[in-house]
Structure formats: C-alpha cells, structure tokens
C-alpha cells in the first residue's frame, strides 16, 4: 500500500517546501497541490537550472510523476497559461498534468479588488501578494465564483461570468474603478479553456483511483500554517487553509487516507507582508541571514522579515497538523553565527505562556523567551550524512526534536537537490 504524505509549511510560508517536495517527489508517483493560487512561489534548482513555479505542482519536471491541481485551488487562467509557456520555452514538454474541474478561477477584477480592499484597510493592510486570492475565495464562498469546468462550457461560462462580473462591478464602480470589457474577457477565457482542456478532469476520481492502485502520493503545501485563515495570525493570513487537515477537502479524498505529515521549517524564521512576528529582529546578523539565505519573496521580491526560530509557533503548528516528521531547511545559513537564539515560550503581560493567543493584540504583546545555543563555523554545505554535521549543529537539531517531540527526518544544507540529508525515508 502506498503512502499519502502531506508537506506542510510550518511557519509563515517560504520554508523551502518547493525543494522538499521536489526532493521527495523522486520517490512519489503523484504530486498534488490543493489550495491557494499563484500567491505561492516555489523555487526549484537542479542541474544548475532554476525554476520558479507559482501554480503548477513541483513534480512537473519528472515525466514519471502525475501532477494534480486540486479543487481547493484558485487558479488564474492567464497566469497558468504563462507558466505552461515558461515550461515550453525551457524545453520541459514531457509531463503529466491534471486540473480539477471544480477549482475556482481568479479573474483580472479579483486583482483590482485585492488592491482596493488593501487600500481601504490603510495602515492595517494585510500586505497581500495582490494576486486576487482573497476576492476569488470570497466569490467561491459567496457562490458567485467561476470554475475551471465553466471554461470548457461556453453557455455555463457566460452565465457564471456575468453574475461574477456584475457582483464585482458594484464594488469597483462605487470606488470609481472600471471593470474589463465582458466580451473580451469571455472570449479570452474561452480561448484559454480550449488550450487547457486536455488537462481538465475530475481529479478526486483520479486521485482516489491512484490511491487504490497503491501509488505514493505527495501533497505539496503552499503558504505556511501560520497563514491559515482559521489557525493563523488572523487577519494577517491568506484566504485558505494550508494545513494537513484541509488537504482531504481540497483534493476530494477521505481524511483517514493521510498517512504522514512532514512539517517544513527554516532553521530560523521569516515572514513577508504585515503581521505579528515575535522573534523578529533587524541587525547585522539579520542582514547576513537575508543575504545568505536570499530572503526575498519569490512572487513579489519583497525583502523578507527575519527572526529566530520560534518553537511556540512550531508547537502550535504541530498540534493543528499532527506533524510526525520535521524537515529543517537552510541550516547552512546559520553557519558562522556565534550565538543562536531559540524561542521556547512567550511572556504575555508578565505571565509565561507556550501557546499562540487567538487575540491578535494579545499576541502582539508577547515577548519571546529565548534559550541560547552555541553556533558552528564549519562549512556544512557539502555534507551528505547526519554524522558529518558539527557537534553544535547536531545539538541545535536535537534541541528542536526534544522540545517538539517530533523527529527531524530531513535536513537541508543548501539550495540544490544534492544538498539534502535524509535521516529516515518516508516513501
């Protein structure tokens, strides 16, 4: 019987899920993306080539892998077309891709609305990626969304698109903004529908059949659990749930089919966009981490905010996801830092707590309580086994394991596929 492994971002996104997915995908038969849209950005490096994917699953470079874009995604058809073009231009032609007919689409006016809602929030803006993700999910839940299946049914598209555009028009025109010409948009979508038609299917049926056939399935997370609309730092979150719990709903399988959950975390913490971040610091060390770790958003190129590793965050994320494995990423970036701080609890108004307060203002008042661990100077970028790691580096990993009571099963010591140490094979 195959395994069904969920790769979960365990911080505020950008943990290196793309690399881990790509690495684990070598032994997977199927890679599934189930939520979010092109707000995500996964960088994959191999054979001295670098690819940035935003929508298409990371298994796309392996012709043996079946790649599925699930029903819980919001897909911008124009961005999808661009990504397919990019693959073609890079000579990547031999791949298996399936797109759920139930996934919703992101339209140009969703991007306008995203920007508009951010402006209305003023100083309290979320700092979204401005890809229209929130408004597309709003339309889905308001039952005025347009789905992938509509793109290949002209009658249905006309009907659904009209309702959608009319709803958006009310808000945009009230704010002195115009909406794109309906017929132009409709025709463009029909054209894209014909291009992507071969990939469109009922992916729930496909996935359940693949599971029955005993295939190894990898669910690729987008964003991080702290950006979860339910369990994250609301309202500074995304509009979907990047947790393992959301995977069954967003891909059309039963919850009992998930066998493993791996939490991907950086050896430190980063965040893009606004919102509470207790372990954030900005000094020469943060600047070095940003430079060495290339901490700039894949989608927006914004400099990422830098912080020490926060085990209160990881405990919360472990609980809501049921993590049974950890992948520690970018460990090499910490090389040369004399003293490494790790947050083990918070001080909230004089009281020590080890949970994330639901009240945003309470969370903002939390001050991190740190333990200090000695750093290492040895270059670890070329090591290939756990035993070769410097003593202090092993101690850093052991401390994380002990406090979280979760096994570290993968350690990443550089951006390349080869710079990965596996302590236990999941597949």
| Binding residues vs ligand IMP (CB under 6 A) | 12-14, 39-41, 126-129, 131, 133-134, 222-223, 227, 236, 238-239, 272-273
Q: Which CB, 67 or 129, lies closer to ligand IMP?
A: 129
Distance in angstroms (rounded) separating the CA atoms of residues 68 and 56: 8
Q: Which of 86, 125 has the CB closer to ligand IMP?
A: 125
State how far the Cα of 29 lies from the Cα of 252, in Å rounded to an integer: 18
CB of 126 to ligand IMP, least distance (A): 5
Which residue matches tokens 């209305």? 120
Q: Which of 22, 29, 42, 114 is catalytic?
A: 42
Write out the H or E segment, with its range, that includes residue 212: helix 203-212
Closest distance to ligand IMP from the beta carbon of 45 (Å) = 17
Q: Exposed, middle or buried: residue 380 (CB in 10 Å: 0-12, 13-18, 19+)?
A: buried
Shortest distance in whole angstroms from residue 398 CB to ligand IMP: 28
In the complex with ligand IMP, the residue whose CB is nearer, 2 or 232, is 232
Choosing from 14, 29, 139, 150, which is the catalytic residue?
A: 14
- Region of 151 on the Ramachandran plot (φ > 0 left; ψ -120 to 50 alpha; else beta): alpha
- Tell me how far apart the alpha carbons of residues 105 and 75 are, in angstroms, rounded to a whole number: 5
Q: How many CA atoms lie within 13 A of 226 on its CB side?
A: 32
Output the residue with the shortest Cβ distance to ligand IMP.
273
**CB count in 10 Å sphere of residue 222:** 28
Instruction: Give least dist CB 37 to ligand IMP, A.
Output: 8
Told to judge if 94 belongs to the known catalytic residues of this protein, a careful annotator would answer: no
Exposure class string for 165-177: b at 16+ Cβ within 10 A, else e: bebbeebbeeeee
Minimum CB distance to ligand IMP smaller for 58 or for 223: 223
- Tally of residues, the chain: 427
Which CB, 79 or 190, lies closer to ligand IMP? 79
Q: What share of the chain is helix, strand, coil (3-state, %, to 5)?
A: 40, 20, 40
Query: Token pair for residue 120?
Result: 């209305």
Q: Whole-number minimum distance, CB 290 to ligand IMP, in Å?
A: 15
Q: CB nearer to ligand IMP: give 126 or 380.
A: 126
CA dihedral 273, 279, 284, 289 (to 10 degrees): -70
- Work out how close the CB of 8 gets to ligand IMP at its nearest, in angstroms, rounded to a whole number: 13
Residue 248 or 273: the one with the smaller Cβ distance to ligand IMP is: 273
Active site residue 14: yes
The beta strands (E) that lie in 291-387 are given as 305-307, 309-310, 325-329, 339-348, 351-353, 367-374
Q: Cβ(309)–Cβ(342) under 8 Å?
A: yes
CB of 111 to ligand IMP, least distance (A): 10
Q: Which residues of 103-124 are buried (b: 16+ CB within 10 A; e: fewer)?
A: bbbbbebbbbbbbbbbeeeeee
How far is Cα 390 from Cα 377, in angstroms, rounded to an integer? 9
Structure tokens at 362: 């309470």
- Token pair belonging to 95: 């791949």
* Minimal distance, residue 240 CB to ligand IMP, in Å: 8
Complex with ligand IMP: residue 13 or 145, whichever CB lies closer = 13
Query: What gap in Å lies between CA 349 and CA 341, rounded to an integer?
Result: 22
Residues annotated as catalytic (active site), given as ranges:
14, 42
């Amino acid at each position: 019987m195959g395994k069904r492994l969920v790769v979960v971002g365990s911080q505020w996104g950008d943990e290196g899920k793309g690399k881990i997915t790509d690495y684990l995908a070598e032994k997977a038969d199927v890679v599934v993306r189930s939520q979010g849209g092109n707000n995500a950005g996964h960088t994959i490096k191999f054979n001295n080539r670098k690819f940035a994917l935003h929508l298409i699953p990371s298994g796309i470079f392996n012709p043996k892998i079946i790649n599925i874009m699930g029903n819980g995604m919001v897909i911008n058809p124009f961005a999808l077309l661009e990504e397919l073009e990019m693959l073609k231009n890079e000579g990547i032609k031999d791949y298996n891709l399936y797109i759920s007919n139930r996934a919703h689409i992101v339209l140009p006016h969703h991007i306008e609305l995203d920007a508009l809602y951010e402006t209305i929030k003023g100083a309290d803006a979320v700092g979204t990626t401005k890809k229209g993700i929130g408004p597309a999910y709003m339309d889905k839940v308001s039952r005025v969304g347009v789905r992938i299946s509509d793109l290949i049914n002209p009658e249905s598209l006309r009907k659904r698109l009209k309702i959608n555009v009319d709803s958006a028009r009310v808000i945009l025109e009230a704010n002195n903004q115009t909406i794109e010409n309906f017929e132009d948009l409709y025709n463009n979508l029909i054209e894209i529908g014909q291009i992507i038609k071969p990939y469109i299917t009922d992916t729930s049926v496909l996935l359940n059949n693949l599971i029955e056939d005993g295939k190894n399935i990898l669910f690729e997370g987008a964003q991080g659990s702290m950006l979860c609309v339910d369990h994250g730092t609301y309202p500074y979150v995304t509009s979907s749930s990047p947790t393992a719990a959301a995977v069954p709903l967003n891909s059309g399988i039963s919850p009992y089919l998930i066998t493993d959950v791996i939490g991907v975390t950086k050896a430190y913490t980063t965040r893009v966009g606004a919102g509470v971040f207790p372990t954030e610091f900005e000094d020469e060390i943060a600047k070095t981490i940003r430079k060495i770790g290339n901490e700039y958003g894949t989608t927006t190129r914004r400099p990422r905010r830098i912080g020490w590793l926060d085990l209160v965050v990881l405990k919360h994320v472990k609980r809501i996801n049921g993590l049974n494995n950890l992948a520690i990423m970018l460990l090499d970036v910490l090389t040369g830092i004399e003293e490494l701080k790790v947050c083990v609890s918070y001080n909230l108004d004089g009281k020590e707590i080890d949970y994330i307060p639901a009240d945003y203002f309470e969370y903002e008042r939390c001050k991190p309580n740190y333990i200090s661990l000695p750093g290492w100077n040895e270059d670890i970028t070329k090591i290939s086994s756990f035993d070769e790691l410097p003593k202090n580096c092993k101690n850093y990993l052991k401390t994380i394991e002990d406090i979280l009571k979760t096994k570290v099963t993968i350690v990443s010591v550089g951006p390349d596929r080869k710079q990965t140490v596996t302590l236990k094979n999941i597949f």
